[in-house]
Amino acid sequence: EIVLSCASADGVDLNGLPPCQRCVAFAVDPAACRSGRWSGPVGRQHQPELFELLVPHKEALSSISRTHFEVVLLDGLDGAVCIRKLSGNPLLLDDRPLPQHEAVPAQEGGRIAFTGTSDTDPSFLEFRVRLRSVQ
């Protein structure tokens, strides 16, 4: 299981939210991984309630695309967890801007941050990458 856990959200008291309201969890389908077709999309279209809860400022919310990025596994279940930015809007991984459409490896604890409409805008929402094995 791959979990994106919200580490910070401007204007939101994360301690007051249950974990299910501040995380995106993806169950990894082994069959899809073996065929090289597993991905987990992230964006306003896929997790609308989550983003509306974590991003109360409408201007910031509008900078998150319907499908902003996807989590992908390269080379199946034993492969690297990667982030592929699909949006034209900025996305940072460990404080570095991600190129569009390129799968970039993300480490356990890696930070995925949304900024405004520029890479130099301050981040307003940050997730941490967590890998959990499900028994």
In the sheet with 96-97, reading across from the earlier edge strand, the strands are 23-26, 2-9, 125-131, 111-114, 92-93, 96-97
- Tens digits of residue pLDDT in 109-130: 999 999 988 878 899 999 999 9
Read off the CATH number of the domain in which 85 is found: 2.60.200.20
Structural domain containing residue 122: 2-131
Q: How many domains does the chain fold into? A: 1
State the CB neighbour count (10 A cutoff) for residue 68: 23
- Tens digits of residue pLDDT in 9-61: 999 999 999 988 999 999 887 777 666 678 899 999 999 999 999 999 999 99
What is the pTM assigned to this prediction?
0.90
For residues 10 and 33, what is the distance between their CA atoms, to the nearest angstrom? 35
How many Cα atoms are found within 13 Å in the side-chain-facing hemisphere of 4?
Answer: 25
